[in-house]
Structures are given as structure tokens and as C-alpha cells.
Amino acid sequence: MQIWRIKDLRNKVFFVLAMLMIFRVAAHIPIPGVNVANLKQFFDTNQLFGLLNLFSGGGMQNFSIVMMGVAPYITSSIIFQLLGMIIPKLEEMMKEESGRAKINFYTRIATVPLSFLQAYGMIMLLKRSSNQIIGDMSFLNLSAMLLTITAGTVFLMWIGELITEKKIGNGISMLIFAGIVARIPSALQELAVNFNREQVITMGVFAIIAILTIVGVVIITEGQRNIPVSYAKRVRGTKMYGGGTTHLPLRVNTAGVIPIIFAISIILFPPMIAQFFVRASTPWIASAASHVINFFQNQTVYGILYFILVFAFTYFYTAVIFHPRQIAENLQKHGGFIPGIRPGANTAEYLQHTISKITLTGALFLAVIAVLPLLLQNASGLGAMVIGGTSILIVVSVVIDMIKQIDSQITMRDYEAF
């Protein structure tokens, strides 16, 4: 009710909804020359590409003009974050507002070639699959497809940044969120058409598991360890400044959804490369490529690898974005200290030890959430889930972030009454 009373906030919400509607329309504009029925079957039976389709908001399954979604932009962002750890100049740029603006510009530029390469790889992979998805095409048709898909990715990147500017949520995350939520009505409709009384108990169990998963996601997403921090008092002339106690929040899930995206990229890479060599003229190369594809299509192997990679990448990405030494230095500069811990190196060591312990919970939770659909499918014998653990994690995280940003805007506009 407060949102609708504030005119400019109400207009921002309508603008975001309009942008999301444009995205959903674009996701249903297909590129000609593709057997959509065979393509849908391919994604329904392939867990890896089903996850990629998730991040494209269903555009990949429709082979639409935005089939790559915002995946190339996410990849570009991850590359520059990792380069910031290696290249000192980029690390210095990330600490300044103007430097971050330049890195954002470089990220947008790098999205274009990445989108072009990923689109080419996906088209070649679909063309060489046994499902007869894409027929023979000329150089002109291929070029038109690549240019269209690349332009679609840049268009979504632009829409995402327009949404972010309204400050009621992250635009890229909201596009992925919209793609996930848009799948639910059609999935429920299909469930109602194929309703079977024998599956009532199974569906009830799934509903309970879904609710428990949502509760778990909220607890882990919002969970944090508060480290007490005290500030020394300072005397200037006849007055005393500073003093007091606050806390330093360390989140249980510092890495967010990024480890799952990393793990998907790593698992997807070997079978994608192997697809190019399945029809090689050299027998041993073709045989090796087939073995690689069969190895990664094994659900047990896929589940174990996926679990291990998500767990490992959670620790890796936490190390990328959490810098205990830098935090310890900043505390020391401002006269802050953790009670019972010496400032400087001892504080950094304590923070590192603490974040390692609480990240264990976050890493295990993310890994279980990632393989949850596989576990449920093997236990029930049913096909693809309506919405998997990864989808719930993204949806809940985006909703929580959106609520917080809207609350802050309401508070800012009604500060006196608050």
C-alpha cells in the first residue's frame, strides 16, 4: 500500500514490470530454421542444458532472439572479477568509483564477443546433435543467426541496466527471476492436464519439500555471524570522540548463486567440446568424444561432480570477494578492534578462520540445493521438476533483495514519519 501511495516509486515499479514484459515477449520470438519440438525434447532430457535454459529465461528452449539470455554478460563479469585478483591495476580500479565505471564499460564490451562465441558453439552443438534440431544452413543464414542472438544479449544487458537504475532490484537477477517464474503457470497447466490420482501423495511430498527448501534458503541467505567490534575513544582538546560497540556481519552464504554458475560452466565445457569431435574421421578421436559425452550424461557421475564443484567454488568465490587482511587494516585505521583479538595480522587470521567455518554450512547447503532435483527425480521416478532448488535459491534471493531496496526507498521518502 505504501508503494502505491508514493508516485515516483509506483512509476518505477510499473517501468520494471514493462521491461520484464518486453523481455518475455522477446523470449518467444523464434529464429527461423529450427525444429522447435525436437529442441524442446532435447532440453527436457538433458539436465545440463536444462540449467543453461534456466539462466536464459526459457529463451534457449524456444531458440529465440534472446536465446543466450544474460549468460555472456555474467561470464564477462566473472572474468573481470577474477582478473581483479591477478592484475594489481584492476584491483586498484575496483576501489574507486570512476575505476568501477570503467570496468563496467569493459564488461559490456567483452559481452559482445563472448555472446558471439557462445552462440556459435551452441548452434554447432545443436546442429550436430542426433535430435535433428537445425538443418543445413548457409554462411549467410549462420551469420544472420549469430548477429541476431548477439544483438538480443546486448538488448537484455541494456534492459537489465535500466532496471538496476530504478534501485528496486538488480536488473540482471530480475531477468533470470522473471524467466523462472514465467515457467510455473505452463508447468502447472501441464500437471493439471496429466493429473493422476496415484501421484497425489508424491505431489504432496514435493510441496512439503518445496516449502522446507524455501524456508532453508531464506535462513541461509539471511544468516550471518555478527563479530563484535569496539572502537577506542579519542580525546581532542577538551572533547572526547569515538567509543562504542558495533558488529561486523559475516554472511553464511557470501558467494550467493555464483558457485552454481561456475559449476555449470565447468561441467558443460567437456561434453560441449566433445560434441565437435563425435563425427571425426579419426576413429579413436570419435570414440573418445563419445565416451566423454556418455560419461557426463551419467546422472550419478553428473550429480557427484556437480556437488563437489559447487562446494569447492563456494570457498573459492568467498576467497575472491572476502579480504580479511583488508578488513583488519581498515578496522585498525579507524581505531576499531575485536575484543580479545590483537589488531592487525591476528585480526585477519581470526576473520579468515571464522569465515572458513561458517562458509562450510553455506557450501554444503548450496551443493545440496544444486543436486536436489536429481535426488527427487531418482527417488520419485518423475521427469523434470517444475522448479528446482537452484531456481528457488535465485527466486528467494531476488525477492529478499527487492524487498530490502524498496523498504529503504520508502524509509528515505517518509523519514520524518518513520
Give the contacts of 249 (CB within 8 A, at least 6 positions apart). Answer: 224, 225, 226, 227
Percentage of the chain lying above the pLDDT 70 cut: 84
pLDDT digits (tens, 9 = 90+) for 32-73: 777 777 777 776 666 566 666 666 656 676 778 888 888 888
Q: Does 367 score more than 70 pLDDT? A: yes
Tens-digit pLDDT profile for residues 246-295: 888 888 888 877 787 778 777 777 776 776 677 777 888 888 888 887 77
Its CATH class, for the domain covering 1-195, is mainly alpha
316-365 pLDDT, tens per residue? 888 877 888 888 888 888 778 888 888 888 888 999 999 999 999 989 98
pLDDT value at 411 more than 60: yes
Q: How confident is the model at residue 236 (pLDDT cuts 50, 70, 90)?
A: low
Closest by CA to 176, choosing from 163, 192, 195, is 163
More confident residue, 113 or 273: 113
Rounded to whole angstroms, how far apart are CA atoms 290 and 296? 10
Tell me how far CA of residue 371 lies from CA of 48, 51, 277, 309, 385, in angstroms. Answer: 12, 12, 29, 11, 12
Q: Given this model, what pLDDT does residue 386 score? A: 47
Rounded to 5 degrees, φ, ψ at 338 are -90, 125
pLDDT of residue 384: 47
pLDDT at 387 over 60: no
Q: Tens digit of pLDDT for each residue in 133-172?
A: 776 677 888 888 889 999 999 999 999 999 989 888 888 8
* Antiparallel, parallel or unpaired: β 245-251 and 224-231: antiparallel
Domain extents in the chain: 1-195
Average pLDDT in the 10-29 region? Answer: 90
What mean pLDDT is predicted for residues 186-207? Answer: 73
Q: Which residues contact 221 (CB under 8 A, 6 or more apart)?
A: 253, 393, 396, 397, 400
> Cβ distance 119 to 146 under 8 Å?
yes
Confidence at residue 150, expressed as pLDDT on a 0 to 100 scale: 92
Q: Mean pLDDT across the stretch 370-392? A: 66
Q: How does pLDDT run across 74-112, given as a tens digit for each residue?
A: 888 878 877 877 788 887 887 777 888 888 899 999 999
Q: Which residue has the higher pLDDT, 376 or 16?
A: 16
- Are 311 and 360 in contact by the 8 Å Cβ rule? The answer is no
pTM for this prediction: 0.76
